[in-house]
Structure 1
Amino acid sequence: MIATEGGHRVTPAELFFDLVFVYAITQVTALMAADPSALRLLGGAVVLALLWWCWCCFAWLGNVVRADSGAMFAVLVAVMAVVMVVSLTVPEVYHDLPGGLYAPLVFVLCYGAVRILHLVSYWISSPGDEALHATLRRTALLSVGPPFVLLLVGSAFTGVTQVLIWFGAVVIDYGGIYLTGSSGWRVNSPGHFAERHGLIVIIALGESIVAIGVGVSALPISTPVLAGTAAGLLVVAGLWRLYFRQISEGAEHRLTALEGDERTRFARDAYTFLHLPLVGGIVLTALGMKKVLHQVADSRHYDLSEPLHGLVAWALSGGVGLFLLASAAILLRSGGRRSLVLIIGGLACMAAGALVVLLPALLALALLAAAVTSMVVLHSRRAVAAGPGTQ
C-alpha cells in the first residue's frame, strides 16, 4: 500500500467506491417511506448510522493510504461488494421476507466484515506505527466487538426489541471511538478529508433529487407536479449553497490549521460525528419531498388541498431543521462561531411539523423552499457583517 502526502486529493477509485453508497442511502429512504412510523424512522436512523460508519472507516483509511494503489483498490472493491449486499438487505432488515436468506443476519455479518477489513487494512498499512496498533486494538475491543455481538443478538428479534438493541449497539460503537482516544489516528491531507465528506453530502443531496423523481414515477405529469419539483429542487439548492459556500470552507481551513492529535479530534468531531446528522437531515427531507410529490401527482387518491399526515409531515421540515442545527454545530466546532440564524431557523423547522400537517402538501413544500432560501441569504449576509464572531 502506498502512503499519501499532504497535498493528496480524492482519487477516481474513491469516487467509484462511493457509488455503492448512492444506492445504500436510497435504500434507507425507501425503508422509512414503506412504513413512516416512529419506530421505522428510528430504525432507519440506526441503519444510516451503521452505513455511515462503513463509509467513514474507509474515508479515514484513504487519507493515509492511496486508494488507487493495487492492494488498497482490491480492498475497496471487496468492501463495495459487501456493502452492496448490505444495501440489498436494507428493505428486509426489520421485516424479513420468506423464501430467502435471513436478511437481518446477512446485514449484521456483512457489517462486521466491513469493520474487520478496515481494521486489518489499517494495521497492514502502517507496520511500524505502535501508537496506531494500540488504538486499533482498543477499537476492536470497545467499538467493534461488543456492538457486533449486540447486533447479532438483535437480529434474532423483531419489532421494538430489535430496533432498541441495534440502537444500543450504535451508541456503544460511537461512544467507543471517544474512549479509544485520538492517539494513533492520522489526517495526512486536510484537503482530501474535507473533499471526501463534501462528496458524501453531494451523494445525499443527489438522493433527495432521486426521491422527487421516484415520488412521481408511473404518474402523469401535471402543473402541480412541475411546481412541486421546482420547489423541491430549490430546497436542495439552498442546502447545497449553505454547506458548500458557508460551512465546508471554514471547516477545512480549521482542519488545515491544526496539527497532530488536535487535528484528529477536530476531524472526528466536525466530520465523522457532526456530518452524520447533517446527512440524516437530508435523508429525512428527501422522505418528506417524496411523499409530497407522490400526493401531488396521484390526483386519483389525493386532493391538492390535502396535507401530509403523521411523521412524514415532521420529516419534511424537521429534516431541514436537523441539517441547519448540524451546520450550526460544525461552525461552532470550527472556530467558536455561533450562527443565530441557523440555530433559530433549525429549531423553527423542527417545530414546523405542527404547521405542515395543517397546510396543503404542495404549499408546505413551497413555503419550506422560501424559508430555506431566506435563511441562506440572511446567514450569508450576517456572516460577512459579523466576521469571526457571532453570526
Structure 2
Amino acid sequence: MRGRDPGEEHRASTPLELLFDLCFVVAVAQAAAELHHALTEGHLGAGLAGYVAVFFAIWWAWMNFTWFASAYDTDDAPYRLLTLLQMAGVLVLAAGVPRAFEHYDFSVVVAGYVLMRIGLVAQWLRAAAGHPGGRPAALRYAGGILVVQIGWIARLWAPGVWGWVTFVVLAIAEMAIPAWAEFRGRETAWHPGHIAERYGLFTIIVLGEVILATLTAVQSALTESGVSAPLVLVALGALVLVFALWWIYFTGAEAHLRTQRIALTWGYGHYLVFAAVAALGAGLEVAVDAVEHKAHVSEQAAALAVAVPVAVVMVVLAALHRLTGTGAVARTAIVAAGVVLVLLLAFSPPLLGLGGAVAGIAVVVAATLTVNLVVLSTSDRPR
C-alpha cells in the first residue's frame, strides 16, 4: 500500500466505491424518512437535531473513506475486506436511525459508526506500514480516529444536555483530525479529479433519493385520493427542482482543488449540500402530505420545509463555486435575489396554494440558474 499517483490519468471511481455508496444511500434514506415523519408530526426541533447528528455520522464516514481511497486504493483482498467491514457498519448505523429519532437512543448508530471508523483505522495502519513517506500522517490519522471513537462510546452514558454538548465536541474533534494529521508533514496524495467525481456521484445518489421519496409520496396520494391540481404542481415542482439543482451542481463539478485548504473547505462544505438535498426529499414528502391533509402542520410550514433546504443548497453551492473558481451560480447578487424569492414563496400558500408555492420555488431556482448561465456566457469573472 504505497499510494496512488495523484497525477494518474483517467482515474475513475471503482465498482467497489460505487457499491460502497449504495450502502450509504440506505442510511441517507433512513435519515430523510425519519426527518419526514418528524416534520409531518410538527416535531421540528427534535427532528432537526436528530437529523443533523445522524447525517453527520453518515457524511463523515463516507468522506473519510473517499479521501483515503483516493490516496491508497490498492484494491487487494485486505483492502476489499476492510471496505466490506465499513459497509457493514453503515448498514448497522442505518438500522439504528429510527431508534435515534424516536427514543433518542444512539447506541446502535454509534455501534455502526465506530465499526466503520475502526475499519478505516486498520486501513491507515496498513498505509503506515506500506508507505514510509506517508507514515507520520497515516499514524496520526489512525491514532486520532481511534481516540475519538473511545469518546463516542463514552458519550452514550452522558446525561441530558451533556449528550449534545459532547456530540458537538466530538464532531469538532473528528473534523480537526485531517488538519492535524497533515500538519507539518508530507500531504496525503489524493487525486483531485477522482475526488470531484466521487462527490458528484454521491450528489446524484442523494438527488435520486429525492426523486424516490417524492414518487412514493405522490403514488400513495394518487392511490388514496386520485389526481388533484395541487398534487400535480408539487410533483412537477419536485422534478424541476431536482433537475435544476443537478444542473447547478454539475456546471461546477470539475472543481479546481488547488490547495489543501481549498480542498478541505470544499469537502467539508458538502455536508450542507448533501444534508440539505436529502432534507429536500423529506420536505417534498411533507408537502404532498399537506396537500392530502395528512400532515399535522400548516401549508406554510410545509412550503418552508421545501424552501429552506433549497435556499441552503443555493447559498452553499454559490460559495463553493466561488472558492474553486468554477460553476454557474457564483454570481452573488443573482443567487442572493433567487434565495430571497425562494424564501418569500414559502409564505405564499394563502395566495398561491401549496402546489403553486412549490412550483414557484422551482421556477425561481431554474430562473436563477438561467440568468447565471447567461451572465457566465458574457463574463469570465464572478461578481
Q: Same fold (TM over 0.5)?
A: yes
Q: After superposition, what is the alpha-carbon deviation per residue over 1:291-331, rounded to whole angstroms, capped at 9, x for unaligned?
A: 112223x26x57xxx95354x54331111111111111212
Matched ranges for 1:22-61 at <5 A = 22-36=25-39, 37-61=44-68
What is the CA–CA distance in structure 2 between the aligned matches of 1:176 and 1:3, rounded to whole Å? 20
2:267 is equivalent to residue 265 of structure 1: no
What is the CA–CA distance in structure 1 between the aligned matches of 2:212 and 2:161, rounded to whole Å? 30
TM-score (norm 2): 0.85
Which residue of structure 2 aligns with residue 287 of structure 1?
282
CA gap of 1:44–1:346, structure 2 versus 1, over 3 A, is: farther
Question: 2:334 touches 2:371 (CA, 8 Å); kept in 1?
Answer: no
For structure 1, the 5+ residue unaligned runs are 98-102
Tell me the CA shift for residue 80 of structure 1.
0.9
Q: 2:239 aligns with which of 233, 240, 265?
A: 233
2:287 is equivalent to residue 278 of structure 1: no
CA gap of 1:163–1:309, structure 2 versus 1, over 3 A, is: farther
Tell me the CA shift for residue 339 of structure 1.
2.0
Q: Residue type matched to 1:55 in 2?
A: W
Which residue of structure 2 aligns with residue 172 of structure 1?
173
Q: 1:88 aligns with which of 82, 95, 99?
A: 95
Matched ranges for 1:43-122 at <5 A = 43-66=50-73, 68-96=75-103, 104-122=106-124
What is the CA–CA distance in structure 1 between the aligned matches of 2:106 and 2:211, rounded to whole Å? 28
Tell me the CA shift for residue 104 of structure 1.
1.6
Tell me the CA shift for residue 223 of structure 1.
3.7
Which residue of structure 2 aligns with residue 243 of structure 1?
249
What is the CA–CA distance in structure 2 between the aligned matches of 1:164 and 1:66, rounded to whole Å? 36
Q: After superposition, what is the alpha-carbon deviation per residue over 1:192-248, rounded to whole angstroms, capped at 9, x for unaligned?
A: 111111010001101111110232343324143333212101000000000112x21
Aligned length: 368
Q: Residue type matched to 1:330 in 2?
A: L
TM-score (norm 1): 0.84
| Cα RMSD after superposing both structures | 2.9
Matched ranges for 1:321-336 at <5 A = 321-335=311-325
Q: Residue type matched to 2:308 in 1?
A: G
What is the CA–CA distance in structure 1 between the aligned matches of 2:163 and 2:344, rounded to whole Å? 31
Q: After superposition, what is the alpha-carbon deviation per residue over 1:84-140, rounded to whole angstroms, capped at 9, x for unaligned?
A: 11111111114349xxxxx52222122122112112212313535456332244345
Which residue of structure 1 aligns with residue 193 of structure 2?
191
When structure 1 is superposed on structure 2, of 366-375 and 272-281 the one drifting more is: 272-281
Question: 1:46 touches 1:170 (CA, 8 Å); kept in 2?
Answer: no
What is the CA–CA distance in structure 1 between the aligned matches of 2:170 and 2:54, rounded to whole Å? 11
What is the CA–CA distance in structure 2 between the aligned matches of 1:111 and 1:154, rounded to whole Å? 13
What is the CA–CA distance in structure 1 between the aligned matches of 2:200 and 2:122, rounded to whole Å? 26
Question: 1:154 touches 1:162 (CA, 8 Å); kept in 2?
Answer: yes
What is the CA–CA distance in structure 1 between the aligned matches of 2:191 and 2:206, rounded to whole Å? 23
CA gap of 1:319–1:177, structure 2 versus 1, over 3 A, is: same
Which residue of structure 2 aligns with residue 320 of structure 1?
310
State the percentage of identical aligned residues. 22
Corresponding residue SS for 1:95:
helix
For structure 2, the 5+ residue unaligned runs are none
CA gap of 1:157–1:40, structure 2 versus 1, over 3 A, is: farther
What is the CA–CA distance in structure 1 between the aligned matches of 2:358 and 2:227, rounded to whole Å? 16
Which residue of structure 2 aligns with residue 211 of structure 1?
213
Question: 1:314 touches 1:354 (CA, 8 Å); kept in 2?
Answer: yes
CA gap of 1:346–1:59, structure 2 versus 1, over 3 A, is: farther
CA gap of 1:107–1:117, structure 2 versus 1, over 3 A, is: same
CA gap of 1:79–1:349, structure 2 versus 1, over 3 A, is: farther
